[in-house]
Chains A and B, each alone.
Chain A
Amino acid sequence: MIKLFRHLKPYRWLVAAVLVFVFFQTLSELYLPTLMSDIVDTGVVKGDTPYIWRVGLFMLLVALGGMACSIAASYYSSKAASGFGMSLRAKVFGHVTNFSLEEFDKLGTASLITRTTNDITQVQQVLIMMLRMMVMAPMMCIGGIIMAVSKDAKLSLIFVVIMPVLAGAIFLIAGKGIPLFKAIQKKIDRLNLVMREALTGIRVIRSFNRIQHEEKRFEAANADLTETSIKVNKIMAFMMPVMMLVMNVSSVAIIWFGGLRIDAGHMQVGDLMAFLQYAMQIMFSLIMVSMMFVMVPRASASAVRINEVLEMAPIIKDTGVTKTPESRKGYVEFRDVTFSYPGAEEPAVQHISFSASPGEVTAIIGGTGSGKSTLISLIPRFYDVESGQVLVDGVDVREMTQADLRSKIGFVPQKAVLFSGTIRENIRYGKEDATDEEVRHAAEIAQAADFIGGMENGYDSVIAQGGTNVSGGQKQRLSIARALVRGAEIYIFDDSFSALDFKTDAKLRAALKEETRESTVIIVAQRVSTVMDADRIIVMNESRIAGIGTHRELMETCDVYREIVYSQLSEEEIA
């Protein structure tokens, strides 16, 4: 938490202003009871009405000043906290944007989203609370004690008894309550989990006729949550009455002992009344501090998560000296490449060597976990190799700037991701200054023109967030169009035809063939029919290359390939 607050630095003057204004506000609040006691001791006792009026007017001025300070403090604290939130968000977002896939894998996308949004909002909220109230509490507490002592030092000894009692009560109740609150959170999560599983699995549950079983599971989670909630609320039921009791009994005690002091001539009635109010202010500030104990842990959990993101350094960086490849275009070469995911025992790919040139189609086939996707994600340098080299246009990818490298590549991911915006905007994502003609051309090759034309607004139809209003196959075709509009040297298709039916798949590949005559094409696929006609088929098996060659060659030499083919096609088609 503290670590995060160094991001407050640009706002330190705002925070200083908050502190100053809160200080003056506290002073005014503390001064009012003293003035009131003057009214009683001087005005009332002597029957001096003009004096009462004068002091009354003065009190109003003090209160007005207090209000002005408080509003000013609110102004600066709002600006400081919102500014803090803004710059922290920008910082985290910028930092995450530079992450390589490795860092994304480590923390998880969903978690990164919450860290950038909810967690920062949470910390910002607490910062506001701190600037508004918790800064005031200690000042009020100390100021109140000083004022009380100045009124009557001996009577102040009463605080020596009251404060430990109050603090003890708060700690005892909070100590019992807080672990239970945590337990409640866990039980709510559990209930949510049961519920979510029941929703996602609704067809399975109903088809296996296990509704009753699910009902029991829900009931158990529900009863568990209810029980703990009742328990915690019963404990918290102590909180307010106990605190009220302590406060009330203390004020009675103050009156009793104060009375004795007055009788002995050590203090005046007005002082006693002021003293009472100081006692209240002190105790309220104690309660406020205790609230801090509840709020800060919640925010500090968020703070820890944010720090984790900020402290993670992206592994892939541009090196100082970068080379720009010469005139060669579209050459991809792997030289004995080995790569393992961090923490993995076995390399994901090992000893991979091959090269691909413009005008060639290289297909990669193999089972899941055989390293196909890993292999191609090394080309745009999503990860850095462990040993060996990946060369693009004759230059090691680590010696190019990431921007240069990626501008050569048209990439179509396994999972088609679209962004909210029009279809045109989505296709232009591949090339910002693409003309309408280029966009249309790309869509036609990707076999997307038909369904786009069928939409009400054509290319201006809006894609919802997450692309929920287009089907899986349509998404895939749009994401292919997006890559094609780039006019790239190297095209990479990571199992990008899986959601297409056979017919569209074939048509698309035929059109693609025409379009990519000048480019290097690398296709990862599951279907034999997709790879059969490639210039070069790389068969992956358990992170190694099991064979390289054309369909014909591999049918004769590669067992793994044959096995794949037989599992998909019948004899007739193979021949």
Chain B
Amino acid sequence: MSREQSEKMPQRSGGRRGGHGPGGPGMAMPVEKAKDFKGTLKRLIRYLRPHKLQLIAVLAMAVLSTIFSIVSPKVMGEATTKLFEGIYGKLQGIPGASIDFQYIWEIVLYLIGLYLLSSLFSYVQQYLMAGVAQKTVYDLRQDVNGKLNKLPLKYFDARTHGEILSRVTNDVDNISNTLQQSLTQLITSILTIIGVIVMMLTISPLLTLIAILTLPVSVLAITSIAKRSQKQFVRQQKELGQLNGHVEEMYTGHKIIKVFGRERKSQQQFDEINGRLYEAGWKAQFISGVIMPIMSFIGNIGYVLISVVGGILVTKQTIKIGDVQAFIQYARQFTMPITQTANIANIIQSTVASAERVFEILDEAEETPEAAKPARIEEPKGNVVFDHVKFGYEPNQSLIEDMNIRVSPGQTIAIVGPTGAGKTTLINLLMRFYEVKGGAITIDGVNITEMKRGDLRSLFGMVLQDTWLFNGTIRENIAYGREGATEEEVVQAAKAAHADHFIRTLPGGYDTVLNEEASNISQGQKQLLTIARAILADPAILILDEATSSVDTRTEVYIQRAMNELMKGRTSFVIAHRLSTIRDADLILVMNHGTVIEQGTHEQLLEQGGFYADLYNSQFSKGGMDQEAG
């Protein structure tokens, strides 16, 4: 988790909230590039299509507001000129010379009008864009979430949750910010650059030349500095990642560090990384911090040159004093959008890279589509048959070659084997989380691929070891088992699962809200809740994980009773840990290395003298450590 966060951090601090703020460190950071820039951009634009009209309006507003803001310095310059002329006249002692306040007043009113309009348009533009940007992002999020629900479990098992989450949140967030701010900024910046050049040319081509000459200098300065600072930022990022990794490890292993007395060593290692981070950190900060002063110095050179040359031109009467003032304003306005555009170019690149990651999700292969005419089992009995089933997680790797199982209604099937033997594979196939590669699985004679997944899964009830509860009340969590369950039914289910008593001892009873990690109830209590949920669902076939290692013995007895109750009359697949369950099972499936290696009843398997017999004897025979207990 910390890795994603640290990856995002520098981009965040790149000063994008500032809007018109100085475009300093942003471009000094390394930028992530998209693989297919054009295609992704086109696709992103497609998302904007429903808002075409608003976007056109935004564009129009941007044009208008920029035009008005560009015209105003020149108008203001005229006022200054009039002032100066009046004063100059007075100084020269020209009779009747005075400041033409009538004219200036008109200009002032005119200016205020211009400013008002410019601000108004810029406001309307931002206002409209807020709707467009956020709604687009809303659509994008909906699409991604909808898509995730259609993806096969293979996709989720191959990725960490953090990775998927980061695409849905961070990347989409990135797109949202860009749409909200950078897009309109890009438009206004480009318009401003063009407009300002035009206005400057109308005032004085010579001064314009001076102003434009400073451009290549600044570009050169920025790029050469940016290259260096990027290197340092990459280093800083790397060290920060290492530091975070170290902290994470040391804190999660705190107990181990203490008990093995490794505090000093861990601190030493930390200091080393910390020192390296400091070196890379201050250099990156410093070099990127140099960009601003150098840029403003280059700007100042231009400013001085314009003041001087402009002053001389005024004395020669070639241009007016107000024009020089206007020109200085233009020159100032000129450098800002240029640095901004460079910045935005980077932002857009990283946005497109984000968009690409989001689209990658949207392009993933979906689950095999549902059968055209889905079969339904009206009254499920619980006949389960694996008929020559072939399966492997990887295309060229086969785990299960030819599996044949025949289960009659009401039977109990115990699945045993060492950890990691692939017991979940069976569940994955039964519930059609994964597709078989050959053969068929049928329930009551119907091939599961011919059923709708929803219908198929509603035949099953599942109680797994990693209990899944969500942030909501206990009632909601139990009621999750069946939509539209009544209060009465929820309590009944809780009672059957021996959960009613503990629920009533909680401060809020059935309305107690489980917190985000569901850490306000114990592991055993969680398990009881999931059993209650399964009882409420009342499925025809059960899948149970018997491992109740984290539950105290009394609760365990309750859970056992609840499970036995639940299993009555239902076909049950039990990932068995208890010897009694195993021995009483109608069929034992012994799994190892991902596949079923033996099957039969307890007696049959013992007689075979294979893996199962070995397993059984190693635990309960009179060999090994048991001798003394004998």
Q: Provide the residues of chain B in CB contact with A255, threshold 8 Å.
A: 76, 79-80, 83, 104, 108
Bound form: Cα–Cα A175–B290 in Å? 34
Interface assignment of A159: CB less than 8 Å from any CB of chain B? no
Residues from chain B with Cβ under 8 Å of A101 in the complex: 254-255, 258
Query: Which applies to chain A's interface (DSSP): helix, strand, loop or mixed?
Result: helix
Interface string of B253-290 (1 = CB under 8 A from A): 11111111111011100110011011001110110011
**Which residues of the partner chain B approach A403 to less than 8 Å between Cβ atoms?**
261
A207–B315 contact, CB under 8 A? no
Could you say which of B69, B120, B165, B321 contacts A40, with CB atoms under 8 Å apart?
B321
A409 within 8 A of B: yes
Least Cβ–Cβ distance between B211 and chain A, in angstroms = 15
Residue of B nearest to A291 (CB): B18
A112 and chain B: residue at smallest CB distance: B251
Is the pair A252, B314 in contact by a Cβ cutoff of 8 Å?
Answer: no
The CA of A260 and the CA of B480, in the complex, are separated in Å by 78
Q: A94-B267, A206-B457 are in contact. Are A74 and B286 (CB under 8 A)?
A: yes
Contacts of A263 in B (CB 8 A): 86-87, 98-99, 101
Q: Output the nearest chain B residue to A231 by Cβ-Cβ distance.
A: B130
Q: Does A116 contact B (CB under 8 A)?
A: yes
B126 touches A236 (CB 8 A): yes
B520 interfacial contact with A, CB 8 Å: no
Q: Which residues of A contact B135 (CB under 8 A)?
A: 226, 230
Q: How many angstroms from the CA of A402 to the CA of B480 in the assembled complex?
A: 50
CB distance from A177 to the nearest CB of B (A): 11
Q: How many residue pairs at the A-B interface have CB separations less than 8 Å?
A: 447
Residue of A nearest to B252 (CB): A109
Instruction: Assess whether A407 is interfacial by the CB under 8 Å rule.
Output: yes
Q: Do B274 and A241 touch (CB < 8 A)?
A: no
Given A252-B108, A563-B557, verify A473-B72 contact (CB < 8 Å): no
Residues of chain B within 8 A of A466, CB atoms compared:
249, 252
> Which interface class (under 10, 10 to 19, 20 to 34, 35 or more) fits A?
35 or more
Residues of chain A lying within 8 A (CB to CB) of residue B560 = 567
- Tell me if A219 is interfacial: C-beta within 8 Å of chain B: yes
Q: Which of A160-168, A208-216, A319-327, A442-450 contacts B (4 or more CB under 8 A)?
A: A208-216
- B595-630 contact mask (Cβ, 8 Å, vs A): 1 or 0: 000000000000000000011001110001111110
A39 & B308 in contact (Cβ 8 Å cutoff): yes
Stretch in B34-42, B109-117, B348-356, B390-398 with 4+ CB within 8 Å of A = B109-117
Minimum Cβ distance to chain A for residue B27 (Å): 16
CB distance from A556 to the nearest CB of B (A): 14
CB distance from B120 to the nearest CB of A (A): 7
Q: Name the A residues within 8 Å of B307 (CB-CB).
A: 36, 39, 56, 59
Q: Which of A417-439 contact B (CB under 8 A)?
A: 417, 419-420, 429-430, 432
Chain A's closest residue to B151 (CB) is A202
Would A502 and B619 be within 8 Å (CB), given that A104-B254, A209-B458, A222-B141 are in contact? yes
Stretch of B46-54, B197-205, B291-299, B504-512 with 4 or more beta carbons under 8 angstroms from chain A: B291-299
Q: Complex formed: what's the CA distance from A564 to B2 in Å?
A: 42
Query: Taking the nearest CB of chain B, how far is it from the CB of A159, in angstroms?
Result: 19
Given known contacts A259-B79, A403-B261, A532-B629, A368 and B523 CB-to-CB distance under 8 angstroms = yes
For A510-532 the 0/1 string (1 means CB < 8 A from B) is 10010000000000001001001
CB-nearest residue of chain B to A403: B261
Please, what's the 1-or-0 string for B145-173, where 1 marks a CB less than 8 Å from any CB in chain A? 11011000100100001001100110001
The answer on a CB contact under 8 Å between B153 and A202 is yes
Complex Cα distance, B471 from A58, in Å, reads: 68
Flag if A269 contacts B261 (CB, 8 Å): no
Compute how far the CA of A532 lies from the CA of B622 in the bound complex, rounded to whole angstroms.
Answer: 12
Taken together as a complex, chains A and B put the C-alpha atoms of A187 and B406 apart, in Å, by 50
Across the interface, which residues of B come within 8 angstroms of A99, CB to CB?
A: 254
Q: How far is the CA of A520 from the CA of B549 in the complex (A)?
A: 26
Known: A45-B88, A406-B259, A471-B419. A240 touches B20 (CB 8 A): yes
Mark A219-234 against chain B: 1 for CB-CB distance below 8 A, else 0. Answer: 1001100100110011
A-facing mask of B417-444, CB < 8 A → 1, else 0? 1111000000000010100000000000
Query: Which residue of chain B is the closest to A64 with respect to CB atoms?
Result: B297
In this complex, the member of A128, A202, A411 whose beta carbon has the largest number of chain B beta carbons within 10 angstroms is A202
Inside 8 A of A457's CB, which chain B residues have their CB? none
Give per-residue flags for A465-503: 1 if the beta carbon is below 8 A from chain B beta carbons, else 0: 110000111000000001000100000000100111111
A367, B559: Cα distance in complex, Å? 13
- How far does the Cβ of B273 sit from chain A's closest Cβ, in whole Å? 10
* Cα A258 to Cα B583 with chains together (Å): 102
CA distance A258 to B469 in the complex (A): 71
Whether the pair B615, A502 counts as a contact (CB closer than 8 A) is yes
A256 within 8 A of B: yes
User: What per-residue 1/0 map shows which CB atoms of A171-201 lie under 8 Å from chain B?
Assistant: 0000000000000000010011101111111
Q: When A197-B471, A502-B615 are in contact, do A215 and B79 touch as well, CB less than 8 Å?
A: no
Contacts of A258 in B (CB 8 A): 83
Q: Is the CB of B626 within 8 A of A209?
A: no
Q: A67 to chain B: which residues have CB within 8 Å? A: 293-294, 296-297, 300
Contact B292 A509 (CB under 8 A): no
Q: Is there an interface contact between A473 and B247, defined as CB atoms closer than 8 Å?
A: no
Cβ of A252 and Cβ of B115 under 8 Å apart? yes
Does B347 lie at the interface of the complex (its beta carbon under 8 Å from any beta carbon of A)? no
Indicate whether B464 reaches chain A with its CB closer than 8 angstroms: yes
B308→A53 contact, CB < 8 A: yes
B453 pairs with A206, CB closer than 8 A = yes
Indicate with 1 or 0, residue by residue over B11-32, a CB within 8 angstroms of chain A CB atoms: 0010001111100000000000
B143 to chain A, nearest CB (A): 11
Residues in B neighbouring A532, C-beta threshold 8 A: 626, 629
For residue A365, give the distance in angstroms from its CB to the closest CB of chain B.
9
Question: CA A502 – CA B462 in complex, angstroms?
Answer: 25
Contact of B148 among A196, A198, A471 (CB under 8 A): A198
For residue B468, CB closer than 8 A to chain A, the reply is: yes
Q: B244 on the interface (CB 8 Å rule)?
A: yes
B363 at interface (Cβ–Cβ under 8 A)? no
A419 and B253 form a contact (CB under 8 A): yes
Tell which of B138, B286, B481, B556 touches A78, judged by Cβ atoms closer than 8 Å: B286
Q: Is B127 an interface residue (CB 8 A)?
A: yes
Residue from A101, A419, A472, A504 with most neighbouring chain B CB atoms (10 Å): A419
B556-570 contact mask (Cβ, 8 Å, vs A): 1 or 0: 110010000000000
A544 interface residue per 8 A CB criterion? no
Q: How far is the CB of A150 from chain B (nearest CB, A)?
A: 20
A572–B130 CA distance with the chains assembled, in angstroms:
74
Whether B165 and A83, one on each chain, are in contact in the complex, defined by CB atoms closer than 8 angstroms, is no
If A234-B127, A533-B629 touch, whether A207 touches B80 (CB-CB below 8 Å) is no
Q: Is A313 an interface residue (CB 8 A)?
A: no
Cβ of A317 under 8 Å from chain B: no
A506 lies within 8 A of B625 (CB): yes
A273 in contact (CB, < 8 A): yes
Would you give the shortest CB distance from A332 to chain B, in whole angstroms?
A: 15
Question: CB distance A241 to B120 under 8 Å?
Answer: yes
Q: Which residue of B lies closest to A99 (CB)?
A: B254
Q: Tell me the complex Cα distance, A229–B136, Å.
A: 12
**Is B486 an interface position by the 8 A CB rule?**
no
B35 shortest CB reach to chain A, Å: 25
Return the CB mask of A238-262 against B: 1 if under 8 Å, else 0: 1111101100110110011011101
* A118/B2 contact (C-beta < 8 A), A506-B624, A563-B553 known: yes
| Selected A-B contacts with CB under 8 Å, 13 pairs | A52-B308, A71-B293, A82-B285, A93-B247, A191-B169, A230-B131, A233-B134, A237-B129, A258-B83, A368-B522, A501-B419, A526-B549, A567-B553
15 additional contacts, CB 8 Å, given A96-B251, A504-B418? A32-B300, A59-B303, A70-B296, A90-B271, A112-B251, A113-B251, A116-B247, A203-B431, A206-B453, A237-B126, A248-B72, A269-B84, A466-B249, A498-B549, A529-B626
Q: Which 10 A-B pairs have the closest CB atoms?
A: A367-B552, A237-B126, A74-B289, A233-B130, A56-B308, A501-B418, A70-B293, A63-B300, A82-B282, A241-B119
